[in-house]
Homo-oligomer: A and B are copies of this chain.
Amino acid sequence: MSRPQQLMTPGPTAVPPEVLHALARPVIHHRSPDFAEVFGVAEERLRAVYRTKNDVLVFTASGTGAFESAIVNLHSPGDRVLAVSQGEFGERWQKLAAVFGCDVVPLTYAWGESPTPDDVRAALAESGAGTVLLVHSETSTGVVCDLEPLLAVCSDAGALSIVDAVSSLAAVPLETDAWGADVVITGSQKALMSPPGLAFASVSDRAWERAATASLPRFYWDWERQRKAQAQGSTPSTPATSLVVAVVEALGLVLEHGLEASFARHRALGRACRAGIKQMGLELYSPDDDSAAVLTGALTPDGIDAVALRLALRDRHGITIAGGHGELVPRLFRIGHIGHVGIEELAGTLAALEEELAAAGADVEPGRAAPAAYEAFGTVATA
């Protein structure tokens, strides 16, 4: 295996040493008072990060698994679902809902666009859909949509909302209860600063009512079984106990520093990254505003291959950044700045990028991106 990598990706993200140490504790049994205690703390801290009084269900799975759980627990065959997409993950949820027999009404934006309340309102009025699928942070493009008014449109229309918040929760503001989000899905491996393998779904009272009559079959994903087991301090089948222990530690760190501080730090990191990218003269792919607090996407200059650039960063600097999808593969790279990452790691990444761009023949003068990033970052505490 090559040298250890600094993950500057939009998930999995770097995990703090305290969390790695927690992961290495002896395994605990999932039907024991020890686990019940840890699990109770996990649930309490999850509710705090979600800003909700709702149940937060804990699945051993990726975020896709938890999203699937929402589809199969809330629908009967033929139920009409408005599936809003502005990128790769929105398209995934359109496909997933269709696979399970939902009558999917797509509202598809070009990659990089952001959904608007007017469009969603009109599509809901026309379709009469009972559920709306929304992507809060579209990890493929860096777009974080303005979720609150979209959720208000859903509530007004009496439609349930299912929100993909996998790369947004704890990085940017998301008020589950105050904004009336029915189901919010996230994963352990992004701003929650934990290894991948756990996924979470908050479930509102309205969603529980719907689940009681929804007829799609479910067993592993069955929310009612899950709720009963969680009330007893465990899960229906063996959970990834070590990951639960790790996530408790990570959530403790997040909450200790405070969610508002986290939001401010992510916003400042986004500013810093954009400043560095622009200093290099590169074209931004992600939005050029404070909404882009999760990741920054940029295009390489003509003639510079993004894949080769990423490999050079990886092999020569020990820094992993993400690439693009489809036809954007040769040009797009994405720098994640969520979770356990500070201005130091970001500035180091930008400095390494400058070096490699210059080495590849781009018109870039090394030594300017990091200072620009530090300046844009300002005086916000890195926590």
Contacts and interface: CB of A to CB of B under 8 A. Distances in A.
Given A197-B240, A238-B189, A65 B1 contact: no
A12 B27 contact: yes
A101 B64 CA distance: 23
Interface in A23-38: 23-34, 37-38
A219 B27 contact: no
Given A62-B60, A196-B238, A29 B2 contact: no
A62 B243 CA distance: 13
A12 B27 CA distance: 7
A237 B33 contact: no
Contacts of A217: 99-101
Contacts of A26: 4-5, 7, 14-15, 20
Given A62-B238, A238-B62, A68 B5 contact: no
Given A29-B5, A61-B220, A240 B196 contact: yes
A155 interface: no
Interface of A is mostly: loop
How many of chain A's residues touch chain B, expressed as a range?
A: 35 or more
Contact of A241 (B12, B32, B65, B218): B12
B29 A25 contact: no
Contacts of A236: 64
Interface of A: 1-2, 4-5, 7, 9, 11-15, 20-21, 23-34, 37-38, 60-65, 68, 95-96, 99-101, 187, 189, 195-197, 217-220, 236-243, 314, 320, 322
5 contacts: A7-B26, A14-B27, A61-B61, A62-B238, A196-B239
User: Nearest 4 pairs between A and B by C-beta?
Assistant: A197-B240, A24-B24, A64-B237, A62-B237
